[in-house]
Amino acid sequence: MQQDNIRLQKIVVTIAVLLLMVKFAAYIITHSNAVLTDALESIVNVVAGSFGLYSLILASKPKDESHPYGHGKIEFISASIEGSMILIAGLIIIGKSTFNLFFPQTIQNIESGIILVSIAGIVNFFMGWVMERRGKKSNSLTMVAGGKHLQSDGWSTAGLLVGLTLLYFLQYPWIDSAVAILFGGYICFEGYKIVRQSIAGIMDEADTELLKGVIDTLQKNREPNWIDIHNMRVIKYGANLHFDCHFTVPYYFTVKEGHDELEKIEDIIHKHHETSDEWFVHIDACVPPQMCRICKKPDCNVRQAAFDHEVIWNLDNVIRNRKHGLD
């Protein structure tokens, strides 16, 4: 999966360089501020894409003595740099366009600019859509951030085309700068979101959406020997996930039997979420008779109390550091 991401990122960087030349050609032809904002954004695409490629290559390296959890954190650093560059580009766009509201430039050859920018925008949006899908599938923040970046570039291009079209028919020069300012603000917002998400990854902020998905999967595929799961946490190292939790099995299980049940959990999560994950699990023994009341194991010869109710695993009760059934 990681090698597929690297190959896709190489293609994206190559296309980004070509689109950069197309957009600057459109600016030279039209002298439009809005087109220039799109071209400046493409510089960010090339630089950020190149650093994203480097981060994917580094993140794919195996663990070593200096990095026992792997090199995946580089993806968060890459995303934070990309987000910062997007934010800076948005501020530059707003500044230059505000200046040109008061000191407008003559715009020409709008038709040619519309054609060139349209082609670039369609290609950017499609590549961004592919990258984001691949990133979500492989749990790669670098790919997701890059994909959102390209899609936001596509949307800003769409707004730019609306502005150029209005300018073409209405002949009001301020429309060009006004559209650029609006989409400069949008670009700043997208940059902020990417920076915020990358900082959350660096600081190991809880990913409640990811945890909820994993817990729901375990609940739907629950087996009788899985009496309880609690104190579940996850740390993200780029595309690699490190889970830890407490897992309760019948107290008479051998170490091998407990480990076999844990392997079932790992296989289910890997099958349904297609993640590269590692589990650090503290296996607990059940506590009769209290936990007998929540245990659905039908063939238990040491049951000390009848089954009463099932504890439905959810985000709220699985992340708590407390065994269920002891209340």
Question: Taking Cα atoms as reference points, which of 109, 93, 3 lies closest to residue 41?
Answer: 93
- Say what percent of the chain tops pLDDT 70: 95
The separation between CA 238 and the C-alpha centre of its own chain, rounded to angstroms, equals: 9
Q: Give residue 34's pLDDT.
A: 66
Q: Give residue 198's pLDDT.
A: 86
pTM: 0.69
Fold of 208-318: Alpha-Beta Plaits (3.30.70)
Query: Which residue stretches of the chain have pLDDT < 70?
Result: 1-2, 33-34, 105-108, 239, 274-276, 327
Q: What is the DSSP letter of 294?
A: G
Q: Give residue 274's pLDDT.
A: 65
Residue span(s) of the chain under CATH 1.20.1510.10 come to 2-202
Q: Give residue 180's pLDDT.
A: 76
C-beta neighbour count of 115 within 10 angstroms: 12
Q: Give residue 252's pLDDT.
A: 93
Residue span(s) of the chain under CATH 3.30.70.1350 come to 208-318
For Cα atoms 275, 279, 281, give the angle at the middle one, nearest 5 degrees: 155
Q: Where are the beta strands (DSSP E) in 166-264?
A: 228-237, 240-249
Q: Are the beta carbons of 177 and 56 closer than 8 angstroms?
A: no
Residues 2-17 pLDDT 10s: 677 788 888 888 888 8
Tokens of 327: 């209340």
Among 3.90.79.10, 3.40.718.10, 3.40.50.720, 1.20.1510.10, what is the CATH number of 2-202?
A: 1.20.1510.10
Residues contacting residue 299 through CB under 8 Å, at least 6 positions apart: none
Residues contacting residue 171 through CB under 8 Å, at least 6 positions apart: none
Tokens of 263: 């392997």
